[in-house]
Amino acid sequence: MHENIVLTLINLVKAKLREGDQINAKRVAQYLIDEHPETLEGWLFMAGLSLNDEDRFNYLSRAKQIDAEDPRLIKALAWANQERQLVLADTAPITVRKEKLKTLPVIQTQPAQSIVAQHRDLPARKRWQNWLYLSFSILLGTVGIGLLILLFIWYGPRRPQTTISEDTLERFQITPDLNNTDIPTPIPSPTSYTPTPASEGTHTPLPTPSPTSSPTPTLSPTPEWMTYDDISFRDQGLEVLFTMACNQDQVFMEEFFVRNYTPELLDSGEFNTNLDFAMAWEHLGFYGLWIHSGISNRLGELPAYPLQIYLENNPQGLLRSPSETIEHMQDCLLDSEVILRQGETLSANKVVAAVRIPPFEVEEVSLQPMNLVPYLAENYPDSGFDQMELPGLLFYFCGRQLRGETYNTSLDYWTQSRFIIGIMPVDSQ
């Protein structure tokens, strides 16, 4: 996140310089060195924008402490020394022989009152131009402030969700099944049947089956396609509530639309552009939900964002380190309760496996979409996926670069890593 903010500020300074707006360029550069003093570019910008020779060399001195061998710094020092020589040459005393002096003509100066009168008589067009320039400067300043607010929304601290409203919690309450006591049990009448005693020695032979007959097997009912524990993944809405194993933290994923996988869904690019739905797939008897996370371009939170923030941010709203995140997942996510709600249908589940894929392992995992459970069980043996049994469901969503990790430039800010969570119905365990 830090590198992205610095890069955005550097690009903003360059954009202002291209527009000729040195005032706002210097303001952004000043903000850059105040908030990120370790950034070489900020000190170089300030040196180039400074008119004072002493300030210019002070900025270059700070830049030299960061990287004395940087070619841009060396070039800037050479330019600053050249400028200093020109200034010294301009201020050196000049000796002029008296005999060479010539009498200069007297220049008639206008009184101040005349200059003020001329200013009053400026054409209206000129005054409108001044107002236009002022309005444009105010607009640019407003845009700059808006950009900083946008950066704060995208990259600023965010405290994780740990509680939900009573109304929401009530909708996820599962009524216990009292062994179907509401179904009456028929009681036979005492006179409905009177057994007839068989005669002694009487034997009723059983029918002999035909040699060619074969018993008809009783088949178990075939599970409905793309249905997990009575929850359908065929163009249906879905809500999810996590009750964590630590502190009884509650994370609620608001209703999102689920569509089953088709090749056209990916080939058309719809899944990567329309972020309002999740994609469901099935392989080897396991189901999976690929859910969008992060913040959309319209600044809306995507379905898995609350769970993503709960896993990645600490209680103060700051990013965790990779080791802190793994510990947090083991302590709070594993063994947590997960309730799926679709209409009036509720499915109680338990988290049995979880893993976070770091930035430079994402590409390899992305090649295993239809083989995730055995792949994760083999390559991430401590993640718990070797304990998953049918039926099982995977939550698959993207995450960010954590504190101290190297940024993967082939991925964007919101897709640096992957979270994969395995759950199973409570009654199947």
Q: Which residues pair with 257 in a beta bridge?
A: 237, 277
Domains and CATH numbers, the chain: 2-92+134-151 (1.25.40.10), 227-428 (2.40.260)
pLDDT 10s digits, 67-119: 888 888 888 888 888 877 776 665 555 454 544 445 545 545 445 444 444 44
- 141 — pLDDT class (breaks 50, 70, 90): confident
Tell me whether strands 236-243 and 250-260 are parallel, antiparallel or unpaired: antiparallel
pLDDT of the residue at 201: 40
- According to the model, what pLDDT value does residue 95 have? 52
Q: CA-to-CA distance for 332 and 319, rounded, in angstroms?
A: 17
Spatial CB neighbours of 23, under 8 Å, sequence gap ≥ 6? 137
Question: Binning pLDDT at 50, 70 and 90, where does residue 288 land?
Answer: very high
Average pLDDT estimate for 386-392: 92
Task: Tell me if residue 405 falls in helix, strand or coil.
Answer: coil
Mean pLDDT of all residues in 389-404: 95
Q: Write down the pLDDT at residue 183.
A: 42
pLDDT value at 191 more than 90: no
In angstroms, the CA 355 to CA 322 distance is 11
> Average pLDDT in the 191-198 region?
38
Sign of the torsion formed by the C-alpha atoms of 386, 388, 394 and 395: negative
Task: State how far the alpha carbon of 24 is from the alpha carbons of 30, 137, 139, 171, in Å.
Answer: 10, 9, 12, 52
Higher pLDDT, 128 or 59: 59
Distance CA 353, CA 381 (A): 10
Report pLDDT for 51: 82
pLDDT in tens, 32-47: 899 889 988 988 888 8
pLDDT band of residue 218 (cuts 50, 70, 90) is: very low
Residue corresponding to tokens 């979270």: 419
What integer pLDDT is reported at residue 215 of this predicted model?
40
| pLDDT score recorded for residue 9 | 85
CA angle (279, 276, 300) in 5-degree steps: 135
Would the pLDDT of 211 be above 60?
Answer: no
pLDDT of residue 162: 87
Structure tokens at 59: 């900025």
Dist. CA 315–CA 43, nearest whole Å: 35
* Mean pLDDT, residues 361-372: 89
Instruction: Outline where DSSP puts E strands in 311-412.
Output: 337-342, 345-357, 392-399
Residue 186 in this model has a pLDDT that exceeds 80: no
| Assessment of whether the complete model's pTM goes beyond 0.75 | no
Say which range, 180-189, 260-269, 276-285, has the weakest mean pLDDT.
180-189
At position 223, the amino acid (one-letter code) is: P
First to last CA, the chain: 40
Position 208 scores a pLDDT of: 39
- Give the least confident one: 52-56, 247-251, 336-340: 52-56
For residue 304, CA distances in Å to 71, 75, 136 come to 45, 49, 41
Residue 228 pLDDT > 50, yes or no? yes
Residue 401 predicted with pLDDT over 70: yes
Residue 236 has pLDDT above 90, yes or no: yes
